[in-house]
Amino acid sequence: MEIEKSLSYLRAEKKVETLKGFYGHLSAYIIVNIVIILISANVFGKGKADFSGWGIYATALFWGIGLVAHAIYVFFEIYVRNNFLKRWEEKKIKQFLEEDF
């Protein structure tokens, strides 16, 4: 029973770490791309701000593709129940625990 509780705790801890990683990635994406767009558009300069041109948004677009891939990985891993992998993980964990004792 204790092993099941510790396995559940470790799984939950892994999910939290995965979510934290994604939210950190999302936060960096938002902050960095806002700064890049504002600087590229010359908002802080003396000239007129220009938001036209796809080059200003290229970093946000390509990084956004990576962010979407990260989100798919994170939420697929957390919400889709893959019983085969789950059973395999539990079997291997129990095997390693039995070898240690």
User: Domains of the chain: which residue ranges?
Assistant: 2-100
* Cα distance between residue 49 and residue 39, in whole Å: 9
Write the pLDDT tens digit of every residue in 16-54: 898 999 999 999 999 999 998 888 888 888 888 788 888
Give Dmax (Cα) for the chain: 71
Residue 101: pLDDT band (50, 70, 90) is low
* Cα distance between residue 34 and residue 40, in whole Å: 10
Please tell me whether the overall predicted TM-score, pTM, comes out greater than 0.85 for this model: no
Q: Which amino acid is at 90?
A: E
